[in-house]
Structure 1
Amino acid sequence: MGERILIIDDKIEIINFLRDLLTPLGYEVSSCTNGRAGVAKALEEQPDLIMLDLNMPGMSGLEVLQEFDRLAIRSPVILMTLYGSEEVMLQALRLGVRDYLNKPFQIDELLEAIERALEKARLQRERERLLRELGQTNQQLGRRMQELSTLQAIGRSVAALMPLPDLLRRIVDAALYLSNADIGSLFLREQASGQLRLEAIRQGEDYQSNLRSHIHDSHAEDVLRSGQSLWVPTPTKRTGVTGYLGDQARSMLYVPIKLGGQVAGVIAVAYLSEEQEPPIEVQKRLTALADYAAIALQNARLYGNLQQRAEQLATINRIARMTASSLELQTIIRTVVREIKDTLHAETATLALVDEDTNELVFEVSLQGDREQAQAFRIKVGQGAIGWAVQHRQVLHVNDVSQDPRFYGGVDEVTGFQTYSLLCVPLTVSEKVIGAIEVINKIDEHQPGGRGRFTDQDEALLQGAAAFIAMAVENARLHEAVRETAAVEAIHQTMVTLSHYINNSLQTLLGTSEMLREEHRHAAAILSQEVYKISAVLSVLRDIVSPESTVYLGSTQMLNIEEELERRLAAPQTG
């Protein structure tokens, strides 16, 4: 379509001449024979050029120009005149006339004037077009900058160091914000099994996390295998995401979370209200979010490991303080075993010590939940998992006892307890194994049935604690032995001192009996006999408490007091 030229002239022959001249050149020509009609047509058509006669009856050319100015008609104008004063020409130029031509026309002059006017119009239109495009580009750039700024803020928020549950919520919330979807969810790949688990999901105000559910979602599994985003425009069946909440999705978008070239998880969003076009921009935003999420998940795992390590070191420190705060063996054992059970989230914790006389392991303390097992157990060294650990002086770490022949189920049969997993560490002092500590059945509420697996970090913690426990047990035993020795020595010293004082008094009585008169000889003999009996009793008591007759750290060699007393009384009296 050619450029449009509007001719306003009261002379029909002028209009026809210009039409016949310009139409073959590709211009689209329209016309009016009076000023008022010309203003209306100019306002309606907004032509590229207006050729206006100055001298017309009714509304003159100047009046038409004034009306153009009032109505903000900006089309360029060439003024045509048969005659006109210089003052009129100046007034016309002030009203926006681009050029003027004197009648009769010179065709070359006419065409040159038209081309000059249209060239300016073309440049103006091009400028306006470029300005519009620039404005649109600036708007797009502004929106893009705003999106990038928003995404960067979300990325900083997501990538901040925080516990894993808080991170999962932020990722799901950010996915919903960036996609404007109805449902947002997050799957994470389980390191042990490689399977996807639904970790968190939100629809409106309904947010659920800590799910760790094996929910089948074939689309998410496709993304896990391919490592590529997936747009599902019309799901024909419920997926794991929408099926979980009971709503049918109209369209869905899945984006992988990649870490080190491997898919570590999947972000999934669903639209419920209407079918959506393939959301290229949304996919870009969610892909950027997935990059932030990958870094954040790695940081959260490292943070969790560091936090767990700090807790373990704090636990070992508490155990060290506990073992140093008391020398009472039973107090130490009970306190430490409870601390170990709670820290490792075990169902049961047991401490057993070696009885060297019988070569048996004696279960000193066994805690199940908050209850202490009242029944004491003994097993041979080498029997069962704990016996194996003592005999071989090695840690035993078993997460499925049904597959390990070293497990002994006799205790379970007696107690009605069922063992699934165990971790056992021997207690060693100066290269001598004095017992073992064992934890049974790791508790993990996130796992099916609440059954977890003891980790290498659990093993490291129990080994660190075992060293302090072994020293505490040995110190308590030495303290008990020293205390028993001190008690025997105190009794011995007391008896020796008492004997000394009583003997002195007895010697005085004997001397006094010799000084009695003849008529009291019989009474003196009786007195002397009783003094001798008392001396014999004191002699027996001194022998009973003498170090030579006592075996410390075990049994005491007891005397038969009556037999020993009769023997000594039957012996000849001296002195």
Structure 2
Amino acid sequence: MFNGRTLESRRAGQINRYTPLVMTGLLLAGGYALLVSGLSLVFQQALGWNSPWLSALLFFIMALAFFPLRNRLEGLFSSLRGVSLQQSPRRVEMTEAVSLLDTLDRREIILRLRRELLEKLGVEKAHLFLYDLVSDSYQAAEDQNGKKTSDLVFQSNSPLVEHLTKIKGFLSLNEADAVLMDELRGERTRLSLLNARWFFPLPGNQRLLGWLALDGQTGAGFTPPVLEAVGRLCREAALALDRAQMVSEMENSVREMNILTRVAQGVNVTLNLDDIFELIYAQITQLIPADQFRLILKSPQGDGLVQVFFIDGEERVSEQENLYLPVEPSLESEVAASGRGSMTDDYSRESRQRGLLPLTDAIYAWMAAPLNAGAEPIGIICLGRRDPAQRFTTEQLRILQALADQAAGGIFKVRLLAESERRARQLKTLNEVTRQLTSTLDPERLLKNILQSAVDILNCEAGSLLMLDEHTEELVFRVVLGPVAHELEGQRMPADKGVVGRSFQTRQPLIVNDVRSSKDWFSKPDKMTGFVTRSLLVVPLIVKDTVLGVIEVVNRKDGSNFNLDDQELLTAFASQAAVAIENARLYTLTDQALAAKVEELSVLQRIDRELNTSLDVSRAMTITLEWAMRQSGADAGLVGVVLPEGVRVVASQGYADELSIFENDLIPGDRIGLGRMIDLRRAIRSYPAEDLPGLFTSAASQVLIPIQREQSVIGLLLLESRKPEVCDEDMLEFLQRLGDHAAIAIANAQLYSAVQSANVAKSEFVSFVAHELKNPMTSIKGYTELLAAKAVGPVNDAQANFLTVIRSNIDRMNTLVSDLNDLSKIEAGRLRLEFAPIHLSEALQEVERSTRRQIEEKQQTLTINLPADLPPVWADRTRLVQVLVNLVSNAHKYTEAGGKITVGALRTKNEWDENGPAEVVHVWVQDTGLGIAPEDQPKIFQKFFRSEDPKAREVPGSGLGLNITRSLVEMQGGQIWFESEYRRGTTFHFTIPVAEQ
């Protein structure tokens, strides 16, 4: 389409326009043919020629000879009238017919026209005004240098344009009558500035294409033939410009169709709204330049217009996007309501004249087209220009509407898809959150999860969860999310104030999309925090007809309003949340009761730990009394052992000298009602009376707790208080259980005492036997060495072998006896250590001397690597040497002949015990021997352990050496461990504290 006409109609118009020229050409050709025929007959009769071709040739020669004569006569005539031969209208007409119609370039046509005016007519100053479709006005064209000859602009409805459109020739202000000058009264200022006297219209097929204005001074000597020649030149220029414009319009139409196609394709393949908005903006502004571009959509809920896309200049202004527009009537709202496009030359003035609200600033020309998709528009596209001279045209509005129609379907489709996806995500989130709520029973965590989920589901800026305080009847901000959460949490508000209070009182959800206009709005929180609330949605938390509190979500992040769908979604969520809160509350009550029981068990566990670590009867009973007094809050109490003659007091608290009257701390049973308690075998409460007064002077109540083991009462716990009730039923049960635990601990302590006595007796026996065995072994060893040394006569080889066997077994027995003696002392706690600073090098020298012979017998190598700056250690010299000898001997025994034994040490930090010495000496003994099998490694330090490894079994031993070694290392404040690779060797490590300087 081109300005409402088809391409065929334009072509038909062009053919109609050229029809007179074609007819004129045909008439001239026919006349020339008749003239040639007539002259041929004349010459044929006069000269007797019979050939028409000779007559035609003679006539053509005569015509050629006539042209110079014609030019001379025309020049003579022109000189007589003061006109140059170069100004011959005929010559100009011939030239321009060739030079103006053979190009479609508008600028080239203008340049050729100016050149013809200058070269053929001598016109230097001329203003060429041409129609501008974009601004619907006539503006001056550029000169040869590319500069406009004038800044004046004539609107399409100006009097000058209307007059030039009507006339057939040209307008001369010199010859204008009073009527014409009166019509041009509104143009006098422009005409005076233009300083032009002659106006030659450039008629077009549909409108006036423009005009040529000749400067008054330049054209002072123009004659009618020259003016007529200029008119003919302008008509030819108009014909060329009209043809160029037609081609340009065709190109613009093709470009418009391409853009429409791109928009249609883009909106159909793009699923991102922002990408569609960018595409629409880019394509529209290619055809219709604008200083401001706005895309306004109706909200999905249909409660207003939302400005979703805003371009000012060439910059996108995000602050002006996703904003709800005021509800007051405006030009934009009229277009959105009517579904018809509109435009104006002065946006603000027209808005004020019609009593409408202008929605944008600094815009003069304004145009809007509705986005029609279905029965009602879904929004509008608005363009604006700041320059008052640049107006929009009807053609541009038509193009904008065509593009808007293409874009509307895509926007509607994507918005519908986005809304469906959003709702699906909300329902999915609601499902997941509901499952999570049922799995959370911690009240504080649950409330945070509920509010966070509500804010996330509706994509809000902030939210609050308020719970009712039953004591004060106030709503408390229990959880708050948003920029001012820390300022609001814990704050209180009346339960009947504001939108929140109204929802709480009415038990109904409420939506307020403009809080400033709501009479229920409670603005104190905003004033206190500085947060700006625009809209909110409040839903009560109801369970079993009881309102627990409310959920409040504030300000959608996308700037949209809350709607009924949001209300239904949050209401469904709130019902689930209320059930979860009630479950958590019930769980908390149960958990508190359970926690009390757990606390009781924890106390009993601590009591058991203290009781079982003491293993002393007196200490166990003292601990029992301390915990009973602490838990019950009694003022005085005692604990004792039940004997046939009464209760012997083991420990007491709170008494002054009330117990001093009893000899040997023995209280008669009938004095405290012991018989009744033994008969009942359970804790009993009693109240002091005249016949049975309390032991505590100001006692008002008593409680007796039996300490019984199996069927026997072995002890008694007595608590007295100044209060009428020393304890309730729960405390009485606790004290009874405490008595039962105490009975077990006391029994264990008694058993432990018996075991300790037996162990001491065993250790004393082993020590006695070991001591008694040493004397005969010493004698046997001495006589054996005398015999082997041939002190009493010669010894043959067999006898020498027997003596070697006897001496070897005596050494083994001596080692075994020494180990048993050390073990018994360690177990009995009677091994005494004498600590002193010791240089490890000196201890290792002694070890080397004592083990040299046996190491050399197996051709082994003993290497000692000690740093020069190794500090002295704090240890018992004899026992340290014993530890080293045991480890080196073990390495020797379990290493084959030719093996290597390495002893090393270094100073290091203590990594075993935070409370131990800061620095230690780390010693290791490494061998290349048999190694320890993985299954034997956990048992290596056990008493009497012997490996099942056949090669290890070949080496004799008692299984006590490593156990004693570990005990000796630990008794000296160190730690021992090992690393072993089976059949590759073993490394034993131990640490000894560094001696303080």
TM-score, with structure 1 as normaliser: 0.55
Alignment of 1:14 onto 2:40:
yes
- Selected match of 1:394 from 503, 508, 529: 508
Alignment of 1:475 onto 2:475:
no
SS of the aligned residue for 1:509 comes to: strand
1:9-43 residue CA offsets vs partner (Å, 9 max, x unmatched): 9999526589xxxxxxxxxxx954289999999xx
Alignment of 1:265 onto 2:397:
no
The one-letter code of the counterpart of 2:536 is L
Alignment of 1:510 onto 2:642:
yes
SS of the aligned residue for 1:312 comes to: helix
Q: 1:397–1:144: structure 2 CA closer, same or farther, 3 Å change rule?
A: closer
Alignment of 1:188 onto 2:302:
no
1:523-542 residue CA offsets vs partner (Å, 9 max, x unmatched): 37337569969x89965699
The one-letter code of the counterpart of 1:461 is L
Give how far 1:330 is off: 0.9
Alignment of 1:176 onto 2:290:
no
Which residue number corresponds to residue 547 of structure 2? 433
How far, CA to CA, are the matches of 2:393 and 2:518 in structure 1?
A: 54
How far, CA to CA, are the matches of 2:458 and 2:469 in structure 1?
A: 27
How far, CA to CA, are the matches of 1:567 and 1:313 in structure 2?
A: 55
SS of the aligned residue for 2:570 comes to: helix
- Selected match of 1:563 from 699, 715, 723: 723
- Selected match of 2:450 from 315, 336, 356: 336
Give how far 1:157 is off: 0.6
Alignment of 1:201 onto 2:316:
no
TM-score, with structure 2 as normaliser: 0.34
Alignment of 1:33 onto 2:58:
yes
Alignment of 1:155 onto 2:267:
no
SS of the aligned residue for 1:365 comes to: strand
SS of the aligned residue for 2:271 comes to: coil
Give how far 1:385 is off: 3.6
Answer yes or no: is the 8 Å Cα contact 1:353–1:362 preserved in 2: yes
Q: 1:539–1:254: structure 2 CA closer, same or farther, 3 Å change rule?
A: same
Q: 1:322–1:285: structure 2 CA closer, same or farther, 3 Å change rule?
A: same
Q: What is the 5 A alignment of 1:42-191?
A: 148=257, 150-177=259-286, 179=287, 181=289, 183=291, 185-188=293-296
How far, CA to CA, are the matches of 1:278 and 1:260 in structure 2?
A: 27
Answer yes or no: is the 8 Å Cα contact 2:362–2:386 preserved in 1: no
Question: Which one has a bigger Cα radius of gyration?
Answer: 2
SS of the aligned residue for 1:257 comes to: strand
Bigger RCO of structures 1 and 2 (CA < 8 A, at least 6 apart): 1
How far, CA to CA, are the matches of 1:326 and 1:244 in structure 2?
A: 51
Answer yes or no: is the 8 Å Cα contact 1:7–1:15 preserved in 2: no
What is the CA RMSD across the aligned residues, in angstroms?
A: 5.9
How many residue pairs are counted as aligned between the two chains?
429
- Selected match of 1:523 from 664, 675, 695: 664
Answer yes or no: is the 8 Å Cα contact 2:702–2:720 preserved in 1: no
Answer yes or no: is the 8 Å Cα contact 1:421–1:442 preserved in 2: yes
SS of the aligned residue for 1:162 comes to: coil
Which residue number corresponds to residue 74 of structure 1? none
Alignment of 1:287 onto 2:419:
no
Give how far 1:246 is off: 7.0
The one-letter code of the counterpart of 2:583 is N
How far, CA to CA, are the matches of 2:604 and 2:259 in structure 1?
A: 92
Give how far 1:222 is off: 7.8
Which residue number corresponds to residue 571 of structure 1? none
Give how far 1:165 is off: 2.9
Is the deviation greater in 166-175 or in 412-421? 412-421
Which residue number corresponds to residue 556 of structure 1? none
How far, CA to CA, are the matches of 2:494 and 2:704 in structure 1?
A: 37
Q: 1:417–1:171: structure 2 CA closer, same or farther, 3 Å change rule?
A: closer
Answer yes or no: is the 8 Å Cα contact 2:464–2:552 preserved in 1: yes
Which residue number corresponds to residue 298 of structure 1? 412
1:432-458 residue CA offsets vs partner (Å, 9 max, x unmatched): 33222223x425575xxxxx6433333
Percent identity, aligned pairs only, is 22
- Selected match of 2:573 from 456, 465, 481: 465
Answer yes or no: is the 8 Å Cα contact 2:36–2:56 preserved in 1: no
Answer yes or no: is the 8 Å Cα contact 1:424–1:438 preserved in 2: yes
Answer yes or no: is the 8 Å Cα contact 1:322–1:332 preserved in 2: no
How far, CA to CA, are the matches of 1:494 and 1:222 in structure 2?
A: 76
Answer yes or no: is the 8 Å Cα contact 2:488–2:525 preserved in 1: no
How far, CA to CA, are the matches of 2:581 and 2:704 in structure 1?
A: 31
How far, CA to CA, are the matches of 1:196 and 1:316 in structure 2?
A: 27
How far, CA to CA, are the matches of 1:460 and 1:424 in structure 2?
A: 11
Answer yes or no: is the 8 Å Cα contact 1:169–1:200 preserved in 2: no
Q: 1:273–1:495: structure 2 CA closer, same or farther, 3 Å change rule?
A: closer
Q: What is the 5 A alignment of 1:447-466?
A: 453-466=561-574
Give how far 1:155 is off: 0.8
The one-letter code of the counterpart of 1:442 is N
The one-letter code of the counterpart of 1:509 is V
Is the deviation greater in 405-414 or in 296-305? 405-414
How far, CA to CA, are the matches of 1:271 and 1:381 in structure 2?
A: 53
Q: 1:206–1:323: structure 2 CA closer, same or farther, 3 Å change rule?
A: same
Q: 1:226–1:375: structure 2 CA closer, same or farther, 3 Å change rule?
A: closer
SS of the aligned residue for 1:299 comes to: helix
How far, CA to CA, are the matches of 1:375 and 1:37 in structure 2?
A: 115
Return 5+ residue gaps in structure 1 as ranges: 19-29, 42-136, 447-451, 546-558, 569-575
How far, CA to CA, are the matches of 2:584 and 2:601 in structure 1?
A: 26
